Amino acid sequence: MTFGLLLFSQLSYGQYWFGLRAGGHRTSFNYQNEETILPIGGRELIQNETYSPVAADYNYEFGAMVTYTATDRYAVHGELAFERINKTVRSQDGAYFIDNSFKYSYLSLPLFLRVMAGSEPVHYYVNLGPKISYLLSAKGTIFIDDFNEVSQGPRDVKIVYDQSDGGDISTVVLERPNRLQYSLNIGGGMMLDLRTGGRMMIDLRYSWGHSHLGSNTESGLLAFGENAEYTNQVLSFSIGYMIPYNPSELLKGSSTNDLMQTETTSSKRKKKSKKKN
């Protein structure tokens, strides 16, 4: 659909809009298997008997965006955004004690086909398209009951993705990580035309993740009660500001200027020729 729209847009009056947006999101976590065995402290614990329900968390996102409007009705919208996601895992009352908190940072690239309606000054739209997210970094604080036996409190750790980087108490290895994660996005919103010539955008979208954080196979995280085989489901709200850019108008202006310069040069040459005569 995107390819067809871009092809069609070559015959239309296409216009670009550039801007920035910022907002917040609610992230919930969908485990592939809540019966996962957690090999903690020489025990084998079942996740759904050990964890409290992993609560949804809230965080922020921001980024740059560009929209190519092919017609009054259809557009392609793309973004480059930074997203922060938190996740907290705690034991149920009476279960083996776990208290872990993780922070994940992503660089995301969503691409939408946009269908618009309405007229000035209020425009409405719906979005549908994929999103690719790259895991920039992960860190957190881990604590299991075994730490008390060696007089250690919560431990700050960095999650690494290569076996050679692990091995000390400040790093935990994530086996076979999915640093590139994929999701399907759907949403909608409205745009308000402003007197400045720009537009304010109010956007709501839902991101349905399709990639696990990583594999549990020999993962160092599993020994601390962190099951890596889950996907992120994200509901986000943001506000943005966009300004227009119309290359066809720029070209028209350039053509006019070139024509005026040509005419001026021509008239000067004629005047010089008359004086010589």
More confident residue, 4 or 164: 164
Residues 112 and 203 in one domain: yes
CA gap 141, 101 in Å, rounded: 5
pLDDT digits (tens, 9 = 90+) for 167-226: 566 888 887 888 999 999 999 999 999 998 899 999 999 999 999 998 887 677 888 888
Q: Are residues 125 and 255 in the same domain?
A: no
CATH of the domain at 110: 2.40.160.20
pLDDT tens for 224-267 read 888 999 999 999 999 999 999 877 665 555 444 454 454 455 55
β-pairing verdict for 155-160 and 122-142: antiparallel
From the list 89, 68, 70, 90, the residue with the least C-alpha distance to 79 is 68
Range of the domain at 231: 2-245
117 and 215 in one domain? yes
Q: Are residues 225 and 155 in the same domain?
A: yes
Note whether 147 and 47 are same-domain residues.
Answer: yes
Same structural domain, 240 and 260: no
Choose among 189, 184, 33, 21: nearest CA to 112.
184
Residues 131 and 189 in one domain: yes
**221 lies in the same domain as 120:** yes
Give the number of domains in the chain.
2
- Both 212 and 269 in a single domain? no
Mean of the per-residue pLDDT values of the chain: 84
